[in-house]
């Protein structure tokens, strides 16, 4: 089994126009005899509903508690192959907590969640909404599926990807945490590779991001470390701000190095 070192850079910015940052991010890295392990999360609170920042914070804080209190026993019992099922239950619990909070406060609130957990030589993804996770190495691959109305139309050949980018309906979500009792969590998993970089981001980043930006600030520097990934995160955020992005902007870059 390959052992890996995980490195990361991260940034969350309220952006050009919004007074509140409704995004929340989580970066966690640990180490055991199998090498580094980690969990990386981007949650984008829904600005069209009230208290989006509350919903995204509730999700991140519950996942932080899971990392600090529950993960140790899971690893000790060697249940990492059940991680998707276990974290799916945590997301359903978060969904119910946000719904109940909204009922108590008389508000509607919600959040996306894009989560990647890495242990031993594997990654596991759980995702709801339209934040995204990409794998970047020889090519850039989107690993998550957008739960948006325009993405549904594109998948069913009712709209082109180009039309989706400029559609006034592009922010309409079909799924998020905190709105509906039943959620359909997108999950996938795969093997980690040496010199692979994962990008977890809110739509505020990818809306104005271009392939050449990824080539220039990520692919061009595969001899990365924590400082390089932090620098790249800052450059990507500044680029999309310079292009007039109106939303909050969040990005986590996670680099994989073989021991």
Question: How many Å apart are CA 56 and CA 63, to the nearest integer?
Answer: 11
Partnered with residue 27 across adjacent β-strands are: 40
Question: How many Å apart are CA 122 and CA 176, to the nearest integer?
Answer: 26
pLDDT at 1 over 80: no
pLDDT at 257 over 90: yes
- CB 126, CB 115: distance < 8 Å: yes
CA-CA distances (angstroms) from residue 145 to 130, 167, 185, 187, 222? 8, 18, 10, 9, 26
Contacts 24+ apart (CB under 8 A), 143-151: 143/188, 143/190, 144/114, 144/186, 144/188, 145/186, 147/173, 147/174, 147/175, 147/176, 147/186, 148/172, 148/173, 148/174, 149/173, 149/174
Q: How high does pLDDT run on average in the chain?
A: 94
Residue pointed to by tokens 């959040």? 111
Q: What pTM value is reported for the model?
A: 0.95
Query: Terminal CA-to-CA distance of the chain, rounded, Å?
Result: 11
Position 80 confidence tier, pLDDT thresholds 50, 70, 90: confident
What would the mean pLDDT of 127-155 be, rounded to a whole number? 93
Which pLDDT score, from 0 to 100, does residue 221 have? 72
Question: How many Å apart are CA 176 and CA 164, to the nearest integer?
Answer: 19
Q: Residue 186: CB partners within 8 Å, gap ≥ 6? A: 125, 126, 127, 128, 144, 145, 147
Q: Which CATH architecture has domain 4-258?
A: 4-Layer Sandwich (3.60)
Which pLDDT score, from 0 to 100, does residue 61 have? 98
Burial 56-80, CB ≥16 within 10 A → b, else e: bbbbbebbeebbeeebeebbeeeeb
Work out the angle between the directed axes of helices 83-105 and 52-69 (0-180°, nearest 10): 140
Question: How many Å apart are CA 70 and CA 6, to the nearest integer?
Answer: 21
Highest mean pLDDT among 73-87, 120-134, 138-152, 166-180: 120-134
Which pLDDT score, from 0 to 100, does residue 206 have? 95
- CB 225, CB 182: distance < 8 Å: no
What would the mean pLDDT of 22-41 be, rounded to a whole number? 96
pLDDT at 8 over 90: yes
Which pLDDT score, from 0 to 100, does residue 254 have? 98
Please give the residue that has the higher pLDDT: either 59 or 138. 59
pLDDT at 186 over 90: yes
Which pLDDT score, from 0 to 100, does residue 69 have? 95
Q: How is the beta sheet containing 186-191 ordered, strand by strand?
A: 23-32, 35-44, 113-119, 122-128, 186-191
Q: Tell me the pLDDT tens digit for each residue of 213-247.
A: 999 999 877 788 999 999 999 999 999 999 999 99
* Of 59, 66, 60, residue with least CA distance to 178: 59
Q: Tell me the pLDDT tens digit for each residue of 92-108.
A: 999 999 999 999 999 99
Which pLDDT score, from 0 to 100, does residue 162 have? 82
Which pLDDT score, from 0 to 100, does residue 95 have? 98
């Amino acid at each position: 089994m390959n052992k890996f070192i995980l490195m990361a850079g991260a940034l969350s910015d309220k952006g050009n126009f919004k007074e509140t940052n409704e995004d929340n991010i989580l970066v966690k890295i640990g180490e055991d005899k199998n090498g580094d392990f980690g969990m990386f999360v981007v949650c984008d609170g829904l600005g069209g509903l009230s208290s989006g920042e509350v919903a995204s914070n509730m999700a991140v804080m519950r996942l932080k508690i899971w990392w600090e209190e529950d993960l140790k026993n899971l690893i000790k019992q060697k249940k990492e192959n059940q991680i998707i099922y276990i974290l799916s239950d945590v997301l359903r619990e978060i969904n119910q907590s946000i719904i109940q909070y909204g009922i108590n406060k008389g508000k509607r609130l919600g959040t996306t969640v894009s989560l990647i957990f890495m242990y031993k030589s594997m990654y596991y993804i759980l995702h709801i909404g339209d934040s995204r996770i990409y794998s970047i190495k020889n090519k850039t691959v989107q690993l998550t599926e957008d739960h948006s109305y325009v993405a549904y139309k594109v998948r069913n050949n009712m709209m082109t990807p180009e039309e989706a980018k400029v559609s006034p309906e592009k922010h309409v979500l079909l799924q998020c945490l905190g709105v509906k009792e039943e959620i359909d969590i997108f999950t996938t998993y795969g093997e980690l590779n040496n010199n692979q970089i994962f990008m977890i981001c809110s739509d505020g980043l990818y809306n104005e991001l271009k392939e050449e930006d990824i080539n220039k600030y990520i692919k061009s520097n595969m001899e990365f470390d924590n400082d390089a990934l932090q620098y790249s995160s800052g450059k990507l955020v500044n680029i999309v701000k310079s292009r007039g992005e109106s939303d909050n902007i969040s990005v986590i870059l996670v680099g994989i190095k073989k021991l």
